[in-house]
Structure 1
Amino acid sequence: MVKDKLIEQIKGYININRKTTLRELNLKEDFEIQFLAQGEYNINFTLSSFPNKYVFRVNTGSQLQLENQIGYEFNSLKYLEKSSVTPKVFFVDGSLMYFDYGVLIMEFLEGAPLDYGKDLMEAARIFSRIHSLEIAKDNHFITEKNIFSARIGEGERLLSNIWDSPIVDKRVKSFFDKFLEWAKINKDKERYFIDNPWYVINNTEVNSHNFIIGERSYLIDWEKPVISDPAQDLTQFLAPTTTLWKASYILSSDEKEEFFKNYINGLNGKDRDIRDRVDLYTPYLYLRALGWCAHAYVEYHDPKKEIKNMDTFEKIKEYLDIDFMEGLLRKFGV
């Protein structure tokens, strides 16, 4: 398997660089590498050398279609360090000279995934910390101003592999054909965000397992941050496509309202109609989430795909159920 091969490669890499480019990590000869977790586009390992412990992250793809994906993630984490709610990062290598992939090393954080029933207000605090950061003019982040148009473009790209695929049900193809057409017809509503700009750093992948909750709490996994309206992160965080993904949880109206109040308090009362922004953006968030599922469904049938998480595949199939998708979009008239 890929992760087993990588463990041996990482050991060799550490041995070569332990006393040179990695000397500040204070790694001893008896360091240990263990598998930690994997996502769809990365594999993570722990790098332990008592009393120090790090995460050795291997990037296997780019959702942003970037040539230097790992460099983008490293620079983003460096920029975000002043928030105190993201991981510190220590090393990056995007040369591909030793690995076929980019790698970085960051701090290992103790804690557990977010529990929606207990940790919602802690999440609001984390979001408000990150969304309060000042953004320098010369920053490296991708900026998304036309967020409806961006989701339509992303949806078209994601869905490009389903139309000719024999494994995708005709009803699913018809659903997405209608959904894309609706999104294009209604995209002029993004004018609200252009006329009322509010730009913050968005993580764009805010599921419960990308939070670490403990004595101190953090938001991790900064593969594809963008500067855009805060509705991007808040909509995704609150949407059932996210809360059901890892946690099988649906937020009540009261829970959402309490979350918004705490988020706004963390911004010193700066509301700027965040509830309306989230409501406007929600169907376009669904286009991203469901479009990704359809795209991944086809990819998972490709024997060349390097990373396959079968629990993810089962959830993808659940989300592509016609009744589920139509239920999400009914209130929007799709």
Structure 2
Amino acid sequence: MLKDVLSNKIYEYMKYNQLNTELKLGEDYKIKFLAQGEYNINFTVEDCNKKYVFRVNTGSQIASENQIRYEYEALKSLEVSGVTPRAYYVDDSKKQLDYGVLIMEFLEGKPLEYHKDLKSAAEIFSKIHSIDITGNNFKNLIIEENIFTERIKEAQRLLKDFFQSPKIPSELKDFFYVFIEWAEKNKHGEKYFLENKWHVVNNTEVNSSNFIIGREKSYLIDWEKPVISDPCQDLTQFLAPTTTLWKTDYILSKEEKEEFFRAYVGGLKVKDKNIRERVELYTPFLYLRALSWCAYAYLEYQKDEKEIKNMDTYNKIKEYLDLDFMRRLLWEYF
């Protein structure tokens, strides 16, 4: 497996670039596999005193030509929030390794648990969404103004091969044809966001495993595809069942969502511009993003050359693409 091959190469990479000296690690440091996503493999590099995350990037969800530097620059700009990992090193040359490399802070804690960590998550979002994004600090991030239109374009891109594939049943294709047609007919609603602009930094991958809940402080990690856009992007995704069911099989109640909104608004250092209404309007377009990605990923998993395959992810993808599941999710829209 790729992670096993990389584990053997990272020690030589560290030695060649004298990174143990730069990171103030002793000679007797260890490299261990930590976790992997769809486009990254993460290791820890540690001695008896210090510990870092060594991140290897294998692909891009945003079609970026330099994915690892995009993430590094975002992390450097987000440090002011105090709730994101510090980035220490980036290598996008792909010389010693065939992939982009990012070394960042290792954060102690556990994944978020929805039934008891909602307030911590709300406080994290409040701090990030209160950052002043004017000036040059965030100039390299993608900006999304027309968030309904962007979701439609994204879905069309993700579903292109899905619609053409003989492996996909016709009734599944028909569902997505109808969904995109509905989205096209209702995209005029994005006028609300253009006339009532509220732009912040969005992570865009706010599932429970991307939160580190510590005893004294908590964090949001995995900043590979942040965008400048309306805060409803992250909050809608965080609260949606397509996210809460992904790792934890949990669905938030109305009371829990209201508890989250109160904590979020209470922690903002800027004026709330009716975040509840924004989330309500954006919700079906968030579903379009989530389900279209599942359709795309399902086909990717059929390819022998796919470098990272997580079977838990694959099984969840198949569960989400079940027609009954999708119909229950979208019954009030079409």
What is the TM-score when the length of structure 1 is the normalising length? 0.97
- Bigger Cα displacement from structure 2, 147-156 vs 167-176: 167-176
Cα deviation digits, residues 136-185 of structure 1 (max 9, x gap): 33222111000001100100011111112122121110000100111111
Write the distance in 2 (CA, Å) between the matches of 1:228 and 1:203. 10
Answer yes or no: is 1:14 the counterpart of 2:43. no
Offset at residue 132 of structure 1 (A): 0.2
State the SS of the aligned residue for 1:248: coil
Write the distance in 1 (CA, Å) between the matches of 2:169 and 2:252. 30
Task: Give the residue type in structure 2 aligned to 1:217.
Answer: S
RMSD of aligned alpha carbons: 1.0
Matches within 5 A, 1:93-104: 93-104=91-102
Q: Which residue of 1 aligns with 2:173?
A: 173
Q: 1:232 to 1:264 in 2, by over 3 A?
A: same
State the SS of the aligned residue for 1:186: helix
Write the distance in 1 (CA, Å) between the matches of 2:250 and 2:243. 9
Matches within 5 A, 1:172-191: 172-191=172-191
Offset at residue 14 of structure 1 (A): 0.6
Q: Which residue of 2 aligns with 1:257?
A: 258
Write the distance in 1 (CA, Å) between the matches of 2:230 and 2:296. 25
Offset at residue 48 of structure 1 (A): 0.7
Q: Which residue of 2 aligns with 1:235?
A: 236
Task: Give the residue type in structure 1 aligned to 2:32.
Answer: Q
Which of the residues 47, 55, 58 maps onto 1:57?
Answer: 55
Cα deviation digits, residues 181-216 of structure 1 (max 9, x gap): 111111111000000000000000000000000121
Q: Which residue of 2 aligns with 1:37?
A: 35
Asked whether the equivalents of residues 130 and 269 of structure 2 are also in contact (C-alpha less than 8 Å), the reply is no
Q: Number of residues paired by the alignment?
A: 331
Offset at residue 24 of structure 1 (A): 2.7
Offset at residue 27 of structure 1 (A): 2.1
State the SS of the aligned residue for 2:161: coil
Matches within 5 A, 1:288-299: 288-299=289-300
Which of the residues 53, 67, 70 maps onto 2:68?
Answer: 70
Offset at residue 269 of structure 1 (A): 7.4
Write the distance in 1 (CA, Å) between the matches of 2:51 and 2:134. 32
Give ranges in structure 1 of 5+ residues lacking alignment: none
Write the distance in 1 (CA, Å) between the matches of 2:164 and 2:133. 43
Q: Which residue of 1 aligns with 2:135?
A: 137
Write the distance in 1 (CA, Å) between the matches of 2:132 and 2:332. 36
Q: Which residue of 1 aligns with 2:196?
A: 196
Task: Give the residue type in structure 2 aligned to 1:122.
Answer: S
Matches within 5 A, 1:177-326: 177-215=177-215, 216-268=217-269, 270-326=271-327
Task: Give the residue type in structure 1 aligned to 2:178.
Answer: K
Task: Give the residue type in structure 1 aligned to 2:33.
Answer: F
State the SS of the aligned residue for 1:27: coil
State the SS of the aligned residue for 2:163: coil
Offset at residue 268 of structure 1 (A): 4.6
Write the distance in 2 (CA, Å) between the matches of 1:269 and 1:89. 27
Q: Which residue of 1 aligns with 2:87?
A: 89
Give ranges in structure 2 of 5+ residues lacking alignment: none
What is the TM-score when the length of structure 2 is the normalising length? 0.97
Cα deviation digits, residues 101-120 of structure 1 (max 9, x gap): 10010011110000000000
Task: Give the residue type in structure 2 aligned to 1:278.
Answer: V
Offset at residue 23 of structure 1 (A): 2.8
Offset at residue 22 of structure 1 (A): 5.4
State the SS of the aligned residue for 1:66: coil
Write the distance in 1 (CA, Å) between the matches of 2:20 and 2:144. 36
State the SS of the aligned residue for 1:162: helix
Which of the residues 105, 125, 128 maps onto 1:127?
Answer: 125
